[in-house]
A and B are shown apart, each in its own frame.
Chain A
Amino acid sequence: MPKDETNEVVLKVEEIYKNYKGKEVLKGISFEVRKGEVKVIIGPSGTGKSTLLRCLNLLTVPDKGRVYLEGEEITHAKKNIHQFRQKIGMVFQDFNLFDHLTALGNVEIGLTRVKKMEREKAREKAQEELRRVGLEEQANLYPAQLSGGQKQRVSIARTLAMDPKVILFDEPTSALDPELIGEVLEVIKNLALQGMTMVLVTHEMGFARSVANEIIFMEEGKILESGPPAQLFSNPKYERTRQFLHKITELYGE
C-alpha cells in the first residue's frame, strides 16, 4: 500500500518515557501515524511494545513525552481523556470482551453508554459491525460460547463501532490457536484495505509484511530502526534487526 505523505497525521508520539519500579521500559519513543497508514511494531518480548501501545491512549500514563491525536495533545488531558479514548480503538491480546454481555451487547455498550446513542440505532450499528467481521449469526452468544478467533473478531467489531480515528492492536493473534489466527488476520487485512489507520504489535511477520506501510523494530525500550517492510526484511541497517527477523520468521513462519 502506498504511503501518501500528504495525508494528515492522526497520531503523533513524542519522546515517550516510562519507568516501572525503577526499570526504564520506554526510553524516548517517537513516531507518527498518518491517515490510512498501518504501522507494525515488532521486537523481542519485554521490549515495551505493549506498554507503548497503552501509553498511546493513556491506559498507562507515560512519565515523560507527549501524544497528539489529530493535533490535539492528549497527554495531560486528565478529565477529557475519555473523549480521546473513544477515538482511539484498542484490541487486546486476550480480547477482554465483557463477559456478562452477548456479542451484540459488547459491540453496543460503547454506543449506548459512551456515545449515548439511541438503543435502536445502536443495535442497528452493532449488528452492522458484527456483519463486517462475519459474526452476525453469533450476535446473541456470550463470550464463553465463542471460539478465540470469534471473540477477537467481536472485540474488533466493538472497537469499530466507535468509529475510531486509529486502532491499536496489541498482539491480536498471540492468544489464539494456530488454526484460528487466519480469520482474525483476514479481518484486520480488510480494515487495512478499507483505509483504517492502525498500529499493530504482532509476531506474524508474513502478515506484517503484507499490510504494513512501515515496520518499527523496537528493542530495550527504544526504536532501533524503522522502514518499509521490503527494506527492513531485505536490507536492515542493523545486524540485530536481521537476527530478530530471521529468528521470528523461523518460529512463526511467513
Chain B
Amino acid sequence: MNELYSFIRDIVLPPLLEGTLVTLQLIVLSIPLGFILGILIAVGRVYGNKIISFFCTIYVLFFRGTPLLVQLFILYYGLPSVGIFFSPFVAAVLGFILCSSAYHSEYIRGAIQSIKSGQMMAAEALGMSRNQAILYVILPQALRRAIPGCSNEIIYLVKYSSLAFMVTCVELTGAGKIIASRYFEYTLVFAVVGAIYLLMVSVITKVLNTLEKKLEIPGIG
C-alpha cells in the first residue's frame, strides 16, 4: 500500500501535474476567447448584412461539421505546407477557440433570437443605433439566457482539450499516456488523470453556477 502511494506521489503525479498546468493554460486561453468570438459570430449571423451573415453561417457549418481532430491536423500538419507554422500549443489553442466559438455562437444565436423584437424597437425608438442596441439591450439579455448552453460547451472544452496531444502538445492526457506506457500502469494512471479532469470540471461548474446566480435577474433566464 505504501509502495503504491509513493509510486503515485513520486512517479505519476509530477508529470501529470505538469500536464495539468498545460491543460489549464490551454483552457484559460480558449474559454474566454472562444466565447468572445462566439458572440461576434452570433451577432454577425443575426444582425450582419448578407455577406457577413453568410460568412458566419459557413464558419459555423465548417467548424461544427468537421471533427476537431481534423481541424487540429490541418492547423498543425497542414498549414506548414502553405508556409504557416504554429507551435503545438498555439495550434491547439487556435483549434479550440475556433471550434468552441462555433458552438458558443449557436447557443448565443438562439438566445438572441428568443429576445422579443420589441426590445430592439424600444432601443431604436430611444435613439440608440443598432450597434448600441445590440450592445446595451440585446446582448445583456441574450448572454444571460445563453449561460446554461455555453457552460455545457465550456465543460466540453475542458475535456476535448485532451486532443491537443494529437498535435504533440503534451497536456494532461498526453502526460498520462507517456507515464502509463513507460510503467505499463494504464488503469492506475488514467484513473488519476480522470480524477484530475473531474476536479477541474467540478470547479468550473461551481464557478459557472455561481456566475449564473450572480447575474440572475427576475424575469430573465
Contact = CB atoms under 8 A, between A and B. Distances in A.
A246 B220 CA distance: 43
Given A92-B121, A142-B218, A100 B141 contact: yes
A92 B148 CA distance: 31
Contacts of B152: none
Interface in A121-163: 142-145, 155, 158-159, 162
A142 B121 contact: no
Interface residues of B, number: 22
A59 interface: yes
B119 A114 contact: no
Contacts, number: 74
A86 B123 CA distance: 10
Nearest to B215: A100
Contacts of B136: 109, 113
Given A99-B141, A145-B218, A162 B121 contact: no
A59 B124 contact: yes
A47 to B, nearest CB: 20
Nearest to A84: B127
Contacts of B127: 82-83, 85-86, 110, 114, 162
Nearest to B117: A96
B215 to A, nearest CB: 9
Interface in A63-102: 82-83, 85-86, 88-90, 92, 94, 96-100
A105 to B, nearest CB: 10
Interface string B106-140: 00000000001011011111111100100011001
Contacts of B1: none
Contacts of A86: 126-127
Contacts of A82: 124, 127-129
Contact of A57 (B116, B118, B125): B125
B140 A100 contact: yes
Interface of A: 57, 59, 82-83, 85-86, 88-90, 92, 94, 96-100, 109-110, 113-114, 142-145, 155, 158-159, 162
